[in-house]
Amino acid sequence: MTVTAALVIATGVAATVIDIRRRRVPNILTMGVAATGLALALAGLGAVTVGGAAGGLALGLGLLLPAHMLGATGAGDVKLLAAFGALLGPGDVFHAFLRAAILGGVMAVGVALWRGRLRTTLYGTAMLVTTRSREVAALIEHPAANNRFPYAPAIALGAAMVALGW
């Protein structure tokens, strides 16, 4: 196993545990991993060049930022994908994002089924996508809606799959 894969897996496990317990991914973790990815690239020990690490960080940030602005993810999730981008580079962070999106969708359906809210959740999601309304986002994100779930596990698993060559 490469240093990059080990860091991605260790970070993913830590982020998952913290997100499940506290419903947040701390800055100390995401910023530390991003800095480590850039330092490894600078030292020539990472999987990507310095430009690749910076590009992966920027792309990871850019891929999830729109979802955060719509209220679909937390800021910690955005920073987690960006940190993985510093380790993986732009091409691999994009593939990690795609895997995380699929896994997150499967998780969302599973959570909605578990909570008996599948129809309501699908309707709210359709309204959010078609109207892009702040009011709809506020209704979906309202604590009484019971729609939130930790997304770091999906991001972590998607990044680990890519880091391991899956």
The mean pLDDT value for 8-15 works out to 98
Judge whether residue 11 has pLDDT over 70: yes
Q: Which two tokens stand for residue 77?
A: 């999730």
Instruction: Domain count for the chain, please give it.
Output: 1
Q: What percentage of the chain reaches a pLDDT higher than 90?
A: 69
Q: Specify the pTM.
A: 0.88
Query: Rounded distance, CA 133 to CA 135, Å?
Result: 5
When pLDDT is cut at 50, 70 and 90, the band that residue 125 belongs to is confident
Residues in the chain: 166
DSSP state of 24: S
CA atoms within 13 A on the CB side of 29: 25
When pLDDT is cut at 50, 70 and 90, the band that residue 93 belongs to is very high
Predicted pLDDT of residue 146: 64
Q: Which two tokens stand for residue 63?
A: 């891929």
Domain boundaries, position 97 = 3-163
Query: Rounded distance, CA 116 to CA 95, Å?
Result: 32
